[in-house]
Amino acid sequence: MALLKRLARHKLPQITFTLNGEACFGLAGDTVMTAILTRTDRLRVSDFSNAPRAGFCQMGACQDCWVLTSEGKRIRACSTALEPGMNLRTMTEPRS
């Protein structure tokens, strides 16, 4: 279930992106965090107990919102603007 609930900005242009292989869209002005958490309930799992995490501070301090691009680059979701064509993966598999 989505964590974040949109109260405003509904009429802004859509931005298409891919999340975990699925095509979806966010809105202009979304951060990656908003785009993902308006449709799902986690961004990553914790490093040592695989507990789900979905950010905390929204201001680039807690470092709990890192997600991956399909090329393996890391993105801090709360401080990265959503861009068209982004290919994102939430880091929800346990580390090997």
Partner 1 sequence: MSRILRKDVAIIGGGLVGSSAALALRRMGLSVVLLDKGYCGAQASGVNYGGVRRQGRPPEQIPLSQRAHAIWPRLKELIGIDGEFVRSGHLKLARTEAEMASLENYAARVAELGLDLELIGHNQLRERFPWIAGNIVGASLCSGDGHANPRLVSATFALAARLAGAEVLEHTPVSHVEKLAEGFHLSTETGAEIKARFVINSAGAWAGAFAKAFGEPVPLTRIYPSMIVTEPLDVFMTVNIGAEGGGIYARQVERGNCIVGGMRGEPTTDPDYSRPTGTGAVTIMNRAASMFPALRSAYAIRFWSGTEGEMADRNPVIGFSRTTPNLIHAFGFSGAGFQIAPGVGEVLAELVRDGETSTPIDAFSIDRFTRMDQGSPAGSVPEPQTREALK
Partner 2 sequence: MSDAIRPLIVGAGPAGIRAAQTLLGAGLRPVVVDEAASGGGQIYRQRLVPDERTPRDLYGSEAGKATALHEAFVRIRDRIDYLPQALVWNVRNKTADVAVDGRTRRLDFSHLILATGATDRVLPFRGWTTPGVFTLGGAQIALKSQGCAIGEQVVFLGSGPLLYLVAWQYMKAGARVAAVLDTAPFSAKLHLLRGLPFQPGVVFRGMRYVAELMARGVPVHFGVEPDRIEGTTQVEGIVWRERGKEHRLACDAVGYGFALRSETQLADLAGCRFVFDERDRAWRPERDLAGRTSVADVYIAGDGAGIAGADAAELAGERAGLALLEDAGRSVDHARIAVLERKLAAIHRFRDILEAAFPFPEALASRVDDDVLLCRCEEISVGEARAAARSQGVHELNRLKALTRIGMGRCQGRMCASAATEILAAAHGKPLESVGRLRAQPPVKPLPLEVMTDGEAA
Interacting residue ranges for partner 1, rule: CB under 8 A: 47-48, 72-74, 95-96
Alpha carbon distance 51, 19 (integer Å): 20
Closest C-alpha among 31, 41, 32, 43 to residue 4 = 41
* Binding map of partner 2 across residues 48-67, x = CB under 8 A, - = no contact: xx-xxxxxxxxxxxxxx-x-
Alpha carbon distance 39, 37 (integer Å): 5
In the block, tokens 């107990």 appear at 49
Residue 13 C-beta: closest distance to partner 2, Å = 9
Which chain residues interact with partner 2 by CB under 8 A?
1, 3-9, 11-12, 28-31, 34, 38, 41-42, 46-49, 51-64, 66, 74, 78-79, 81
